[in-house]
Each structure stands twice: as C-alpha cells, then as structure tokens.
Amino acid sequence: MQEYLKILQEKIDNENYQKLMQIANPKLHEFVADSIELCKPASVFICSDSPEDIAYVRQQAVSTKEERALNIPGHTYHFDGYTDQGRDREVTKYLVPKNETLSEALNQIERQQGLVEVRGLLEDSMQDRTMVVRFMTLGPNNSKFSISCVECTDSFYVAHSLSLLYRSGYEEFKRLKPNAQFFAILHSCGKVDERMVSSEPDKKRIYIDYGTDTVYSVNTQYGGNTIGLKKLALRLTIRKADRESWLAEHMFLAGIHGPGGRKTYFAGAFPSACGKTSTAMLPNENILGDDIAYFRNVDARCMAANAESGIFGIIQNVNSKDDPAIWEVLTTPGEVIFSNILVKNKKPYWLGMGEQTPDDGENHSGDWHKGKKDAKGSDIPLAHKNARYAVALNVLKNCDPELENPNGVELAGVMYGGRDPKASVPCQQGFDWEHGIITYGASLETETTFATVGKEGVPEINLMSIQDFVAISLGKYVRNNLEFGKKLKKPPLVFGVNYFLRNKDGKFVNGVRDKHVWVKWMELRVHGEAGCIQTPTGYIPCFEDLKKLFKEVLNKDYTRQDYLDQFTIRLEANLAKLQRVEKFHRDNVVDAPVELFSVLAQQRQRLETAMKKHGDCVSPFDLTSR
C-alpha cells in the first residue's frame, strides 16, 4: 500500500475516507495526507458538497465562534486580528527555485528556504482542531474556463466563505481523470485567542509554490490571505494562462444596457478601493463578476467568464441610495458573512452606511467606544475601512443570467482605473488595443489604499491592477496582453477611467454617481454611436454627448464648466506621470516589450507638442472632434 493511503486510513474516519476515495486522484490523496501529517488535526472533515455537509460547515462556523449570528436570519459576522485587516504584501512571497528568477518588483524567497520556514510554522498547527477539506472550482463548472482547486483549512469561517464565493467542485473532481492537475491550498489560523482570532501575527506567512501549484498560509484569518481561491490562486492561474495562451485578469465583468434593449459586456481593472465593485454594481445594469475574470480566444472572439460566483466586497460607503442592489441583500434575510464591522445588539454598522451609528459596540479591536485609541494614540474608527461582506452573486437581483454559461460572454470593452488626483481625465479611450493596454493598463498609477497593509496615499505604479499577483515576468505579462489582442478579429476597446481627479482646491471633480455616465458613453463608443475628441492621451467624450447622457442617466444638468473641470488635459501632470511610468518599467521590467517604450515615446511627443502650443493645460474645446 502506498504510504499516503495508509496515513489517510489511519487519520480519517471511515465515512470521510470513503468520501475522499470517491475522487480517483493519487496526487490529491497525497496532498491531503501530507497536510494531515504536517498539521496534526484532531479530526478531518471531507466536505462532499451535499446539502448536509454544506449545512454542517455553516453550523460549525458559528459553533466554534469564528462567526456569530446577527438579528437578521442567515447573517453572521467574523473578526480578524487587529493587524490582519488586508492583503499583507510583506509576508506574501513566491517560492522561487535557485535556477529561476522573477521580476525584482515581486516579493520572493528561495524555494527550499521558504518551504522550511512556512512548513515549520504549519507543523502541529491544527492540534485540537478539525481540518476541513473543500473542493471548489474556479470558472464555470465543466467548461474550458474550469480550474479545480482543493483547500485544507482549520477555519470553518474560511470553509464557509468558500461556499458563498466559489462553485462547488466535489463532483467536478470526481469527473476528472486520475492524473488531472489542480490547485492546492493549505491554511491554518495558527494559535488563536479567546475571540478565535489568530494571535501570532508576527508569524504570518503566505507563500506561493508556483512550481507545484500549491499555496501555504498560516497565522492569518483575513479572507484575502486565507480564502486561497482568491488572489493567491490568481498567481497560479496567471502562470497557467501564460502556458496555455489565455489571460487571467484582476477585473470585474458587467453587462451594460444600451439602446434597443441590447446588452454589452465590459471588464474593468481597478486596485482595491478604487471603484471596482461600485462600477460592477451600477444600478439597472447586470453584474457578472466583481474581481477576477478569465479571457479566452474562441474563434478570434474575446470570451470572458467570472472565476468566482460570489462577492467578497468592501462594505465601506455601501448605502441604500448608491448601492440599492447590494443594500437589499445586506438588510434582508439570506446568507451573508460580515467581517470587521461594528456590532451592537446583533446589528452590523460600517463606515459610510448612511445611517446613524452607535458610540460603542464590538469591532476588530474588541470592545469599542467612540474616542478609543490605538497603541500609537490614533483614533480607532467604529469599523475598519477594509471591512467586508461575503455573498453569493446569484442572490443579487441584478446578477447576470450568463454567470454559469460554460462558453462565457463576448467582451466588447476593457477599462483600467486607479486613484489619480492630478493627471488623468475621468474617462478616455485608447487609440487602439496596443495604445490602451500600454498607456492605461501597463501605466496604471494609483495611490495605495487601506485594502493593503502599509501606508495609505502613496502614489505607485500598479501595472494593470495585477502587479502584486503576477508570477511570471511583468514584461511577459504585458506582451501576453498585446499578443492576445492581435489575434482577435475585433479586440475590445480599451478605456482609462479615473474617479479621483481633484481640482486645485483639492475637491473631487467627479460625483460619486458620474461613473454611470462614463460607462454609458463607453457602451455607445463600442457601437459607434458617440463622437469623441482626440487628445494627446486618448479620445475623450464630446460635451454635447455628456450633456445628454447626464440628463438621461442621472437626471442631472451638466454644464460647460463641469466639462472643463473634468476634461481639461493637464499636460504637465501627464508628462510627470509618464516620467514615473517610464522609470518604473526601466527599473523593474527588464524584459519590457519594445512596443511599450515606443508607445510611451509617442505619448510624450504628443504631450510636449501640445504643451508648446497651449501651455500647462489644454481645454477640450480647443481640440479636434472626430
């Protein structure tokens, strides 16, 4: 008998052993056996995705007090540790074999050294706890987009979250051939305190062994570090997509309605807290996904699918006026997990919810009261800025009916957006696929936000909003995007958006809901039904088109001064940004495509020519309409 089968028979009771053996994959059996031997759980639960097994996971999440019930039936809440409130770049590393190299912009450690460290932290970490084994699928089941995944975790909160965010994969695993490949994730909370919160944050490690498609996560509970099918698996997916000539993107997918009852699909890449989910959730449009999308070339058409089937969304500023679809889900009975909000009398509260909030309660810091200070003497807000909600997409009334389409949907447009207070206009279109991918995607600059551990408000390049997750060279990633578009009959139009442009007084020039107008303009552009003005950085909307759209979409009067505030091209600021972009690529992207610097040089020439003619800024009324 193979050694790993002996381990499984000895460590798993007969009922769970039989469920595991329904999957005829020796590599899977070996991974589960290795995880058991390493972590030493008191028991093992194999979740078969039966209604009874799913209900058990949900019930145990509450019984272990990792989650606690709220007043509304089906709603629960969870707290992560005070310093475990976002993706942690510093301790998230790629395990790189000695004979390989990744871009210096990526956090990495020599593979054997990293394995010794992280497996040492995982050793005996599940004593007195249950290891839950979950089988899930990235992408629609039984389709060209499907990727099978298994996660072993000692957190019933993580196991429960997987039920909401991903497609059940047990039956998919059973259908696979014995030698089928899959992604594997091993996670342990490590030591926990009386609140069931990981208590050794200094020993937090999230390591990605891309050579074996395995992720290790320990001493953390925050979903972005532990729900392994999210950004951790995205790193593995990017390598798989590279090998197989398709694209894995950090993008939402949405169906935007146009004249005559048509629906047009768009994707969008935004760093966290830059407007991604709110764009995906625009009122009266359809959401297909809010975070990770797969693109495949099918008969020279760009077909896209959502890797996930749920939303792990930032809850800050979700309110009844601006977010009616998600607000309804968060305030009516149904399965929802809140994390790192404020709770009082079994009711959740969060920042920017548009309702009066209490002056005390319980939050991620423990018992909280208004004016409570942290160790540095700073005020602790009532809820964390990165507080989240987890829900299944299909509970939303505006969920797109194509969510589970195994063929995906045809993509017509792609947008890139970040927090750029000084340079980029709210909305513009690339001159072509190459120009858009390079000047909006590969040049995406944003200010850091609370969604990542570290200092906020620091401007940085976040290439295509996927830089942290790219497990191949950054230059190759850009090249893959360029080549992908070249093979399409009609590549999606590429747009740059920026909801965070400020005027000289520091005030935003965009209203919160203005994004809906920009998206509606993009929908018209895809179908050749709106004009544009050519600027040095791309095509922008015409004033008359926006005036009409603002009235139709928002019932809002739009003035020439609004247009000037939003679409005056700030030449000096764009040149300064371009210089930062070029420096980043020369310093960090050693294999950058030749086209990248050529396109950036052309952009520089256009900006400098315009600056000689117009000075620091140029009014859109002084440019040529097309």
Q: For residue 103, what are the CA distances in angstroms to 293, 348, 467?
A: 23, 42, 10
3-state helix, strand, coil in the chain (%, to 5): 35, 25, 40
Would you say 391 and 290 are in contact if contact means Cβ atoms under 8 Å apart?
no
Q: In what order do the strands lie in the sheet with 336-339?
A: 68-69, 75-78, 336-339, 388-392, 310-314
pLDDT of residue 451: 47
Task: List, by residue range, all CATH 3.90.228.20 domains of the chain.
Answer: 248-307+409-625
Q: Dihedral sign, CA of 323, 327, 330, 336?
A: negative
- Is residue 274 annotated as a catalytic residue, yes or no? yes
> What are the pLDDT digits (tens) for 304-359?
999 999 999 999 999 998 888 899 999 999 999 999 999 999 999 999 999 999 99
**Is pTM, for the whole model, over 0.85?**
yes
Bridge partners of 151, per DSSP, are 134, 185
Residue type for 36, please?
A: I
pLDDT of residue 233: 93
Q: For residue 99, what are the CA distances in angstroms to 95, 102, 115, 188, 474?
A: 12, 11, 16, 30, 18
Residue in 532, 605, 621 with CA at minimum distance from that of residue 571: 605
* The domain over range 3-56+81-244 is classified in CATH as 3.40.190.10: no
Residue in 567, 574, 624 with CA at minimum distance from that of residue 603: 574
Task: List, by residue range, all CATH 3.40.449.10 domains of the chain.
Answer: 3-56+81-244
For the chain, which residues score pLDDT lower than 70? Answer: 1, 448-458
Pick the CATH number of 248-307+409-625 from 3.90.228.20, 3.90.79.10, 3.30.70.2190, 1.20.1050.10: 3.90.228.20
Residue in 456, 433, 436 with CA at minimum distance from that of residue 446: 456
pLDDT of residue 86: 86
Q: Rounded CA gap, 598 and 610, in Å?
A: 19
Alpha helices in 95-199 (DSSP H): 111-122, 156-165, 170-175
From the candidates 47, 152, 189, 274, which is the catalytic residue?
274
- Return the ∠ at Cα 42 (arms to 63 and 208), rounded to 5°: 90
> What are the pLDDT digits (tens) for 88-108?
889 999 999 998 887 777 789
